[in-house]
Amino acid sequence: MRTEQEMYDLILGVAERDARVRAVYLNGSRANPNAKKDIFQDYDAVYVVTETASFIRDEAWINVFGDILVMQQPDKLDEAFGKDVDFQAHYAYLMQFADGNRIDLTLQSIEQMQREYGSDGLTVELLDKDGILKPLPAPTDAEHWVKRPSREEYTACCNEFFWVAPYCAKGLWRGELLYAAEMLFHYVLEELKKMLAWHAGLETDFCVSMGKAEKLLSEYLPGEAWERLTRVLCAGSIESAWGALFAAYELFMECAQKVGEALGCPYDAREGENSLLYARRVKALAPDATEIF
């Protein structure tokens, strides 16, 4: 696997030799001083170019970066599905290489760069042939920190959880594991993670990022809370999915009450208990039940 220095030398070397590339900058985790380094970090690089058309016409030019195992061109996919695209403004190549490295490379016009450069706090200049990149403050992930919720956001999170969780119960009673899993993981779990992230924010004065998909929650929750959250992820059968649903209820209701008290937001315990009562009732129903209550 090529080293980090070798990858930077490659990215910059290609740019320095190509007159069409006028500047290079970095986004993403490698621009984040607080991100933990590991072998799976992408190189999120942007080439600021005089034009994109000649690059797009000759896709072979990207082979200089290495042996590509899998590649995606999201702008081309968007065009195929009828979405609005502007290849002249930007065009991306997401490349996974055979040695394990990955580069997410975006071609960006100078005009587009002038509109976007610096809008992401995690931006680091790597090359500027013409002095077109404006000076930026030191990179920071502050814009990705957990935000203190408003009363409305807190209330909406609770309401969404207690409204959607019974959908999961309904799917499980019907034996529809895929539907139940969709409700559990795409809706119930999302609200639970949101509430847990707010809890972590309260513990850190809202000066921390949870990362994509709240992947860093394990570092900011008490060990017991994290272990309980992992139970929610165990839903490979109808029975285990029931256990996951009730584990989600238990953890959410406990955390929501604590977060509400800390934020000065009223927690609707009655709504929560009613939702849980409904889910428990559904679980207790006979397979041939003709009414719920």
Question: Per the structure, how many domains does the chain have?
Answer: 2
Domain boundary among 141, 160, 185: 141
pLDDT at residue 234, as a whole number = 87
pLDDT at residue 111, as a whole number = 97
Question: Is 289 within the bounds of a domain?
Answer: no
Q: Where are the beta strands (DSSP E) in the chain?
A: 21-27, 43-49, 68-72, 90-97, 102-109, 124-128
DSSP string, 113-136: HHHHTTSSSS-EEEEESSS-SPP-
Residues 110, 168 within the same domain: no
Q: How far apart are CA 218 and CA 210, in angstroms?
A: 9
Residues 159, 267 within the same domain: yes
pLDDT at residue 34, as a whole number = 87
* Mean pLDDT, the chain cut into blocks of 10 residues (293 residues total): 96 98 96 90 97 94 96 96 96 96 98 95 96 94 93 98 97 96 96 96 93 89 88 91 96 97 96 97 94 91
**What is the 8-class DSSP label of residue 40?**
T
Q: How far apart are CA 259 and CA 264, in angstroms?
A: 8
**What is the 8-class DSSP label of residue 186?**
I
Residues 36, 65 within the same domain: yes
Domain boundary among 81, 114, 141: 141
Domain boundary among 96, 116, 141: 141
Q: How far apart are CA 224 and CA 26, in angstroms?
A: 38
Residues 11, 136 within the same domain: yes
Question: Is 292 within the bounds of a domain?
Answer: no
**What is the 8-class DSSP label of residue 28?**
S
pTM above 0.75, yes or no: yes
How remote is the C-alpha of 197 from its chain's centroid? 13
Distance (Å) of CA 264 to CA 85, 154, 155: 45, 10, 11
Q: Which domain holds residue 169?
A: 145-284
Q: Judge whether 141 and 209 are in contact, CB under 8 Å.
A: yes
Q: What is the CATH number of the domain that holds 72?
A: 3.30.460.10
Residues 106, 231 within the same domain: no
